[in-house]
Amino acid sequence: MDVIFSVAAKIAEYMFVPIGRQFGYILYYKGNLERMRTEVKKLEGSKDSMQHTVDKARRNGEEIENIVQNWLNKVDNTLGKAKKLIESEGHAKAQCSMRHCPNLCTRHQLSRKNKKMSQEISEVLAEGKFYKISYRAASRVTIKPFSYEALDSNTSMLSEIMLALKNPNIFIIGVYGMGGIGKTTLVKELAWQAENDGSYSAVVMATISGSPDVEKIQGQIADALDMTFNKETKEGRARQLLERITKEKNILIVLDDIWGRLDLEEVGIPFGDDHKGCKLVVTSRDLNVLNREIGTQKEFRLEVLLEEDSWKLFEKMAGDVVQDFNIKPIAVEVAICCAGLPLLIVAVAKALRKKKFYDWKSTLNELNRFDKEGLHKKIYSALELSYNCLESDELKSLFLFIGSFGLDHLHTAELFLCYWGSGLYRNSPTLTDARTRYYKLLNDLKASSLLIESELERVRIHDVVKDVAKSIASRTCPTYGVKRFTLIKQWPVIDQIQKCHQIILPWSNIYNLPEKLECPELKLLLLQNIGDYLKVPDDFFSGMRELKVVNLYGMMLTPFPPKSLCLLTKIISLELSGCVLEDISIVAELKSLEILSLERSDFNELPKEIGQLNNLRMLNLTNCSRLRFIPANLISSLTCLEELYMGNCFIQWDVKESKDQSRNASLEELRNLSQLTTLDIMIQDASVLPKDLQVFAKLERYNIFVGDMWRWSLEWSGGASESSRILKLRDSRSSSIFLYRGFNFLLNSAEDMCLAKMQCVRNFLYELNMEGFPQLKHLHIQDSSELMYIINSKSVYSYPAFPNLETLALQNLFNLEEICRGPIPIQSFTKLKSFEVKEIIAEQKSEADKEIDKIMFPKLGSLELENLPSLISFCSMPLIADKCLKKFGEYNDGTQCIPVALVDEKVGMPHLELLKLSNINSRKLWDDKLPGHSCMQNLKSLTLDRCCNISYAFSSSVAGELVNLKHLAISNCQMLEEIFVSDGMLDNPPLSQKPFYNDEVIFPNLETLVISHMEHLKSVWHNQLAPKSLCKLKQLKIEFCNELSNVIPSYVLNKLQNLEIVTISNCPTLEVVFETQGLKANSGRQTRLEMQLRTLTLKNLPMLKQIWSGNPNDSFTFENLCILKVTECRSLNHVFPFSVAKELQHLQELYIEECGVEIIVAHDEMVDRVPILIFPELTSLSFQDLTELRSFYYGFHTLDCPVLRDLDVLHCDKLELFKPKTLYYRDSVPVDTLPLLSIEKIFTTARELILNCKDVTMLCNGQLNDELIYTVKALRLRCFHDTTEKFPSGFLQRFIHLEYLKVSCSSFSEIFLSGSICTEHSETTMKLRRLVLAGLKNLEFICKEKSEVQPVLQNIEILEVYICSRLKNIFPSGMLFENLEQLEVGDCAGLENIMKSSTATSLQKLRKLWIYNCEKIEEIVATDDENDAFEINFMKLEHLQLSNLPMLRSFCMGRHGFKFPQLQNLFVIDCPMMETFSHGALNAPKLIEVHVKEQDEWHWNGDLNSTIRKFVAKTDSKDD
């Protein structure tokens, strides 16, 4: 029974309970609704409370927990659904009313939803209980700096820093630079990028600004990491901070603006092994702070912005106002005045953002005068703070001393002499100590960013820093100075300079000196005159008795220096450089003198009284090339002498044992100079050297040249480098000089050594220096026929060989067998960076001992092997392999042998960047599968020349290794057929194209490719290249390739998108340059590729038919083309397809010469009836010798060149150049012979008007519009070929403003005919300044003697005469060319001389004289009377060049004396009959070199006549 009741109860539960629940929804409808409304109100209240808490947290800068924000979002969603349910229209139907019964179905549904919603709200309320609502987020370090992306010059540095930070071995990086340079901006950008690219889990930036405050730094870092210290001591906070930083996997900490020592451990910053994920970037103005106090591992110096970047930043900050037509020129100047300093640029640009014209003008004036109270105040304060923080008064004094000169750069040695003379050195008893200290101080100033990093010869200072230094220095040391190259016609009033401590007039044109300069407080006087030599008045120095430093240049101190010089009793340093001297014995009265420099001065004898200068520490006679005589015992009496400079002095040294009574000084006197530490000397004859000069052992710096083949540097001497020990020796007699004890000291200490013509030396290292030349950095050996080995390690040898050698050059060593015989000693050549070998033909004569495992040159950066026809491999090899190679790759049995690679895996040069191989007969240059660590990986420049046995240049494997190659040049490889070949083809000759693998990217960084003189080269490119191959190629040059039919085929064109310069010449089979025919439209791309080609040059391509084949515009556009030059392309019918021409919006120069073109732009049937061809940037258009050219375009067209300045059309007989006046001219002219342009359009823009005979005739007949053309200043007349025609003088007279006239390619026998030009009215007479006569084959006279055209010619400043073979004279007798400054005469076969002596005397303004290719000229100046001997002065002549004058015997064969006071550049090239320059007295005080070749080859042998006789005359010995 119980079971039955139990079952019945369950049945009732499952049947009646659900029924009751459903009825309950109907019965309890109102209760469910009210309950839901109550829950809604609770949820709204809870939400409001939570929202108030959230808002408060946000106001406190805190971030809201995601779970809280999600709950609030869920609340909003839930409330929205609840309110929608409450407002449902069904509630009206569900309720009872008087009029109707409720809808039970609706009532049931709503009641059920109400109850369900109440439950949902309850759940949401229950979820809204949180332990933590918000948190403090890690601080953002910065926002992106404004416009930083525009500063390209700094962006590259930013990339370098980011790259360095990725190096796992670098933990601390330093950035330094002067104040206001933008260090903070740079590191803010760095922090911003690091924070946004996800490289670091945390980025922190702290600003130090001054001496480091540890607690402040800790606080800044803690705030950024959202941590709170609960420790009070610095140590406790440091431990907390270290623990917090260590929790970050990768963290970047930037410490900005550090001025002193900072202990990172004291702060609590882990680094290095303590936390390899922690990277630090530290900024400072002082490199020494970074190096010494912080211990940075890598430093970056931030320089001023480039001019382009400066303008970008300025333009951005100043806004649109800089585009105003009137303001922009001033704005550009203002930006330049800001000197590239971002701080100053931003301050000035913002201040002027909305200002007017006069505000800009006023600001420019302020900037020019550096008003520290105005716009420069902020930058001035920043730099003065840097000055105040210098660590010593000595450093401050030198900085202010440099700034007081007011110059942006100073010569290091010159500044040192002033530094010493002014007494700025501290605790330096010797010049050597002071010089060492001086260089150390300069380096400290560079490290402090107050000086600019520069070459050792110069001290450079930023303009703004210089102005600050000068301003500060003026408080205690008032200085009067001017900029270089100032024209000083009048001295300042005495009140302006009377109280000055320094007067500085550097390299200025000084017209005169006052009789007396009354400056009683003056301590330094620098007068460097570059004008005519100045006489110094006798009383000049009498008012300057406090002088310590005197520097004079360009003075005429003859016959004696001014008497008042002896009144300078406190003088320490006296420089009389570049002066004309005679008797300077008065200098001996200056007993306090410690430095005497006569560098580059003109005198022949040093007075014996100089030996009385008992305190003299330095004597400088460098480049006193006329100096021959130094009295005996003068040098030995200067016992305090520390530095002696006699470079390029041709002293006739006496020999101790000599019986000669000349009593000239001998080198033995050097023994007495016990204090000598520096010696510069040139000894032409090695026999005058004493055998035992112990003084050599004490030398710390020296330049010693022995022999007559070495050329002395023409740079200023006296300390151009911190340490310099140079020895150059030519010993053509015997090797005994190497046994001199003194020379052993030099061999052991030399840093730079050049040796030539060594006799009896076979083993260089073993015989000359058993210690291995420990100091040597640079070694050059040449012309030593007996030398067999550089190192013979088979001898007993215990020292490393050349452990510090950086460059090695071997040349003309015809018997050299091995550089190193036997194993290379350990630690030898470890620092070698450059290796050059030329013209060595010795062959291996014995079997190699054993195969070499590996040769490493860990620092070798440059390797040049040239003229080594016997060289097979870099390593020695068994002799049998050598023989094999010499039999054209066959063994004796006729089977093939494998070529040995010149460079293989045995050779390690991991840092090689430059490789040049020339005249190498190896059949294989490198192993085809070199390992990744080979010599190829860092190679940037590769030159292959005359490698005549190679059939290809690179396998795909080798090409793939050259990932850093930027420059590649291949030439004269006669067997080479292809540049690239796939690895798979190496075993299957003959070579043929096979695809590279898809991932074989070759030369991804190549920028320049040069291929020349390749007889059998058929293809430049492989036919299948990976997408990024050659993607950076910018310059392509191909010449003398006989079998190339095209240069840029279609399959490679898209790889060369960045190509900018293409030059192709002398390829006789080339038919097309750009092969575009058959290209698929767009090749699947949405847009056409924009080629970057800017310059295209084509020359001597006789089979060239098209530059562009097909229509390239379907896939490519060449709109960036700026310059096109095409010459000697006889088969070329047209230049441009129409589709290319219409897009040339940037074309600037078009030059077509000696081509078969009939039209320039090809006709296109698809274009409009009258196309308009516009070239908006075309400035130069030249058509020459185009005999078939009829028109620019076939058919009616409009050619518009709005900015054309140069139009040159020559010998294009079928082309009508100018449109005539005829109104309906178009209707009467065939469509293929339309004129090119109208003369009036050309005149409005042209710089020069060019007219031929036909044009002049049409102008004279009124057929051309001639309005205003006669106002031109430059005119060229040519192509007057009728021999009966006279020069059109009457027509020429219409050009009253004419300044430049060129007459060429005509048959005139005389230019200015007598009576043809009216010269009575000066106001209507043209005033020619430049006259050029060229290619006038019948010309006999420019004008005849006693011509009336003297007023026309008297203003000529430049006269050029070329290719006038019948010309009898240049200057008619009696005609003066008093204003002539430049004369050039060439290819005039009829001339026997250039001018008569009477004419020469009138050329007082002549600055440049150049005579060349005149086969009959025997002398330049011919005497009017052989008995005349008067002196001829070319007072202004600076440059004289005589080239290819086969009959020239002398400049003048008469007895005239010549003076050339300004002559500095003399070229005498290919004048084999010239035996002497002149026979009379000769004075050229500034001349110290004669160039005998165009390319910088110069010589000097003490005086001009001696130099001509030795180095120019035909009788020169081969030995020289």
Q: For residue 495, what are the contacts with CB-CB under 8 A and spacing of at least 6?
A: none
Q: Which has more pLDDT, 878 or 1485?
A: 1485
For residue 1346, count CB atoms less than 10 angstroms from its CB and return exposed for 0-12, middle for 13-18, buried for 19 or more: exposed
Question: Which pLDDT does position 863 carry in this prediction?
Answer: 87
Question: Residue 1118: CA atoms inside 13 Å, Cβ hemisphere, count?
Answer: 29
pLDDT at 296 over 60: yes
10's CB contacts (< 8 A; 6+ apart) are none
CB atoms within 10 A of CB 1286: 14
Question: Rounded to whole angstroms, how far apart are CA atoms 809 and 127?
Answer: 85
Dist. CA 338–CA 878, nearest whole Å? 68
Q: What is the number of alpha carbons within 13 Å of residue 1462 lying toward its C-beta?
A: 20
Q: What angle do CA 1224, 1228, 1234 make, to 5 degrees?
A: 95
- For residue range 661-680, list pLDDT tens digits in order: 568 899 999 999 999 999 99
Q: Which two tokens stand for residue 947?
A: 């490698």
Phi, psi of 735 (to 5 degrees): -90, 10
- Span of 434-443, 782-791, 871-880, 1277-1286 with lowest mean pLDDT: 871-880
- Burial level of 1437, CB count in 10 A (0-12/13-18/19+)? buried
What number of other Cβ atoms are within 10 A of residue 1081's Cβ?
Answer: 11
Task: Report the C-alpha gap between 272 and 287 in whole angstroms.
Answer: 21
Neighbouring-strand partners of residue 756: 730, 782
959-989 pLDDT tens trace: 888 888 999 999 998 888 888 887 656 554 4
Residues β-bridged to residue 773: none
The larger pLDDT score, comparing residue 780 to residue 1086, is at 780
Identify the band that residue 373 occupies on the pLDDT scale cut at 50, 70 and 90: very low
Contact 885, 899 (CB under 8 A): yes
1395, 1422 Cβ separation under 8 angstroms: yes
Mean pLDDT value across residues 568-586: 95
Is the pLDDT reported for residue 618 higher than 60? yes
Q: Which class for 926: exposed (0-12), middle (13-18), buried (19 or more C-beta within 10 A)?
A: buried
Residues 1469, 1494 contacting (CB under 8 angstroms) = yes
d(CA 1178, CA 385) in angstroms, rounded, equals 53
Classify residue 1123 as left (phi > 0), alpha (psi -120 to 50) or beta: beta
CA distance 613 to 589: 8
More confident residue, 1190 or 1426: 1190
Q: Which residues pair with 304 in a beta bridge?
A: none
Q: Which of 208-212, 591-595, 1102-1106, 1130-1134 has the lowest mean pLDDT?
A: 208-212
Average confidence (pLDDT) over 1238-1250: 73
Q: Which amino acid is at 1066?
A: N
Radius of gyration in angstroms for the set of CA atoms belonging to the chain, rounded to a whole number: 43
- Residue 399 pLDDT greater than 80, yes or no: yes
Residue 253 pLDDT class (50, 70, 90 cuts): very high
Question: What is the C-alpha separation between 600 and 498, in angstroms, rounded?
Answer: 31
Confidence of residue 1324 (pLDDT cuts 50, 70, 90): very low
The DSSP H or E segment spanning 834 is strand 834-838
Task: Report the candidate in 1330, 1335, 1333, 1419 with the shortest Cα–Cα distance to residue 1382.
Answer: 1330
State the pairing for strand pair 1432-1433/1408-1412: unpaired
Which whole-number Å values give the CA distances from 1483 to 621, 714, 1460, 1461, 1504, in the listed order?
A: 19, 20, 6, 7, 9
Closest CA to 958 of 989, 990, 924: 924
Q: How far is CA 271 from CA 187, 295, 1291, 1464, in A?
A: 19, 12, 86, 60
What per-residue confidence (pLDDT) applies to 1128? 95
Contact between 876 and 848 (Cβ < 8 Å): yes
Highest mean pLDDT among 217-226, 744-753, 1102-1111, 1129-1138: 1129-1138
pLDDT at 1510 over 50: yes
Structure pTM? 0.77
Q: What is the mean pLDDT of the chain?
A: 82
Of 485-489, 693-697, 1515-1519, which has the strongest mean pLDDT? 485-489
The CA angle 580-583-584, to the nearest 5 degrees, is 85
CB count in 10 Å sphere of residue 1381: 18
Strand ranges (E), 558-616: 573-577, 580-581, 595-597
Is 1373 within 8 Å of 1347 (Cβ atoms)?
no
Residue with the two structure tokens 């520069």: 454
Token match 């190509």: residue?
A: 1059
> What pLDDT does residue 1449 have?
93
Distance CA 915, CA 973 (A): 16
| C-alpha dist (Å) from residue 948 to 320, 779, 922, 975, 1091 | 62, 30, 8, 6, 35
Mean pLDDT of 1104-1108: 91
- 921 touches 869 (CB < 8 A): yes
**Alpha-carbon span 1343 to 1328, nearest angstrom:** 15
d(CA 992, CA 988) in angstroms, rounded, equals 9
SS3 state of residue 1040: strand
Strand-pairing partners, residue 253, are 204, 280
- Is 655 exposed, middle or buried, given 0-12, 13-18 or 19+ CB atoms closer than 10 A? middle
DSSP lists the bridge partners of residue 1277 as 1251, 1303
1175/116 Cα distance (integer angstroms): 80
Strand extents, DSSP E, 983-1083: 1008-1014, 1035-1041, 1046-1048, 1061-1065, 1072-1075
Distance CA 134, CA 65 (A): 5
What is the pLDDT, as a whole number, of residue 23?
54
Residue 239 has pLDDT above 70, yes or no: yes
Q: Which two tokens stand for residue 939?
A: 């190679």
Q: How far is CA 657 from CA 143, 635, 651, 661, 1206, in A?
A: 83, 18, 18, 11, 73
DSSP for 453-470, please give it: ---TTEEE--HHHHHHHH
Provide mean pLDDT across the span 1091-1104.
Answer: 94
Give the residue-averaged pLDDT of 521-538. 95
Q: What is the pLDDT of residues 1371-1395, one digit of tens each?
A: 877 677 889 999 999 999 999 999 9
Q: From CA 1006, how far away is CA 941, in angstroms rounded?
A: 9
What is the DSSP code (8-state) at residue 304? P
Provide the 3-class DSSP secondary structure of residue 343. helix
* pLDDT mean over 1441-1464: 93
Please name which of 860, 801, 813, 806 lies closest in space to residue 838, comparing C-alpha atoms: 813
Q: Are 1469 and 1508 in contact (CB under 8 A)?
A: no
With a CB cutoff of 8 Å and minimum separation 6, the contacts of 491 are: 512, 513, 514
Q: Which residues make beta-bridge pairs with 644?
A: 619, 679
| pLDDT classification of 1516: cutoffs 50, 70, 90 | very low
Question: Does the pLDDT at position 846 exceed 50?
Answer: no
Q: Which of 955, 959, 888 is nearest to 922 (CA)?
A: 888
Task: Quote the CA–CA distance of 1145 and 1147 in Å, as a whole number.
Answer: 6
Closest CA to 618 of 722, 721, 718: 718
Contact 463, 408 (CB under 8 A): yes
Rounded distance between C-alpha atoms, residue 617 and residue 675, angstroms: 9
Mean pLDDT along residues 618-627: 92
Q: What is the pLDDT of residues 1012-1033, one digit of tens each?
A: 999 888 888 877 777 888 888 9
Task: Beginning with the edge strand found earlier in the chain, give each strand of the sheet holding 534-535 in spatial order.
Answer: 534-535, 555-557, 580-581
Task: Assign 3-class secondary structure to 970-986.
Answer: EECCCCCCEEEECHHHC
Region 724-748: mean pLDDT is 76
> What are 793-843's pLDDT values in tens digits?
765 556 788 889 999 998 888 788 778 777 777 788 888 888 888 876 555
Higher pLDDT, residue 755 or 992: 755
The pLDDT > 70 percentage for the chain reads: 83
And the tokens for 309? 């970047």
* Spatial CA neighbour of 529 closest among 514, 512, 513, 509: 509
